[in-house]
Amino acid sequence: MTQRSALLRTTLVLALVVLVSGCSSVKGLFKKNKDKNEGVPVATLYDKAHGQMEHGSWSNASETWGRLVAQYPYGPYTEQALMEQAYAQYKSGKHEDAISTIDRFIRTYPTHRNIAYFYYLRGLSNMARNTVFMARTFKLDTSTRDLEAPQQAYNDFNTVTTRYPNSRYASDARQRMVFLRNEFARFELNTGLYYLRRSAWVSATERATYLLETYPQSEYQYDAVALLAEAYTRMGNATLAADAKRVLEQNDPQHPWLHGKWPNERSVFSRLNPFTGDAR
C-alpha cells in the first residue's frame, strides 16, 4: 500500500468515526428532548397529574394534563383532565393558557353541570391579569391603560350571577364585581386628577361626570363631586362650582374638600391627588 493510499484510508476512517459520533449525538439529543410523558397510559398520566397537584406542583401538573389531553383527546378522562388543567394553569400563573383551556371547555361542553365554575375561574384568571392595570391606575398613565382584562373579568362574574344565581360561586362573584366596579371608578378619578394637574379643566369635569354616570354609588362618587367642584372653581364657573359644593355638603359633609383640608389631608382622595407634596 502506498503512502498516499494509507493516508486516504486514514482520512476515511476518521470521517466515518466523526459521522458515527455525530449520529450518536443527534440520537442522544432526540432522546433528551423527547417528552417523558409521551406514550404513557392514560390512567398513569391521570394519577401522575393528580399527584403533582396534591404536592402543589402546578406547572408540572398543567403539562401532564396537557399531554393527557393531546394524547387521548376523545377518551373518558379528557373532560376531567381539561377541568384540572385549567385550574393548574391558573394556580401556576399561566393565566392566558388557563383562559384558552377554559374557552375550549365551554365550547366543547356548553351544558356541563360545572359550567358556572368555568365562567367563575375565567373571571379569576382575567382578574389576575389585573396586576398591570392596577399598577397603571396608581401611576395615572392614561396613555398606556388597558381595561380589557378587568372588564372581561367583570363580564365573567356577571355571567355567573345572572345565569347561575344559585350556584356556589354566585355570592363571591358579586363581591368581586363590586370590587372591580370600584376599581373602574377609581381609575376614572385618577384620570380626572391627571387632567386637573395639567390644567385641562374641561377634561377633568368630563371624567368626573363620566364616573358619576357610569358608576353611581361607587366608593369614589363624592370624590368625583369634589373634583367637579375644584375644576369648576378653577374654570371660574361659580354657578356649577356652587352646585357641586351643595351636593357634596348634603351627601358627604365631612369630605376634606369642604373643610379646606384637601389636598393636604391624607384621605383616600388626597392620596390619589397629584397636587399634594405628601402624596404617596
Quick count: other Cβ atoms within 10 Å of Cβ 159?
A: 18
How much is the pLDDT for 173?
A: 98
How much is the pLDDT for 45?
A: 93
Question: By CB neighbour count within 10 A (0-12 exposed, 13-18 middle, 19+ buried), where does 174 fall?
Answer: middle
How much is the pLDDT for 270?
A: 46
- Grid cell 365573567 is found at 156
Domain residue ranges in the chain: 41-94
- HEC profile for 133-193? HHHHHHHCCCCCCCCHHHHHHHHHHHHHHHHCCCCCCHHHHHHHHHHHHHHHHHHHHHHHH
User: What predicted TM-score, i.e. pTM, was given to this entire model?
Assistant: 0.75
How much is the pLDDT for 35?
A: 64
Distances (CA, A) of 159 to 96, 110, 115, 182, 199: 20, 13, 11, 19, 41
Secondary structure (DSSP) of the chain: --HHHHHHHHHHHHHHHHHHHHHHHHHHHHHHHS-TTTT--HHHHHHHHHHHHHTT-HHHHHHHHHHHHHHSTTSTTHHHHHHHHHHHHHHTT-HHHHHHHHHHHHHH-TT-TTHHHHHHHHHHHHHHTHHHHHHHHHHT-TTS---HHHHHHHHHHHHHHHH-TTSTTHHHHHHHHHHHHHHHHHHHHHHHHHHHHTT-HHHHHHHHHHHHHHSTT-TTHHHHHHHHHHHHHHHT-HHHHHHHHHHHHHH-TT-GGGGT-TTTS-SHHHHH-SS-TT--
Question: pLDDT by residue for the chain (280 residues), tens digit each?
Answer: 555 554 445 444 444 444 444 554 444 443 444 567 777 899 999 999 999 999 999 999 999 999 999 999 888 899 999 999 999 999 999 999 999 999 999 999 999 999 999 999 999 999 988 654 555 444 544 333 568 889 999 999 999 999 999 999 999 999 999 999 999 999 999 899 999 889 999 999 999 999 999 999 999 999 999 999 999 999 999 999 999 999 999 999 999 889 877 655 444 444 444 444 333 2
How much is the pLDDT for 174?
A: 97
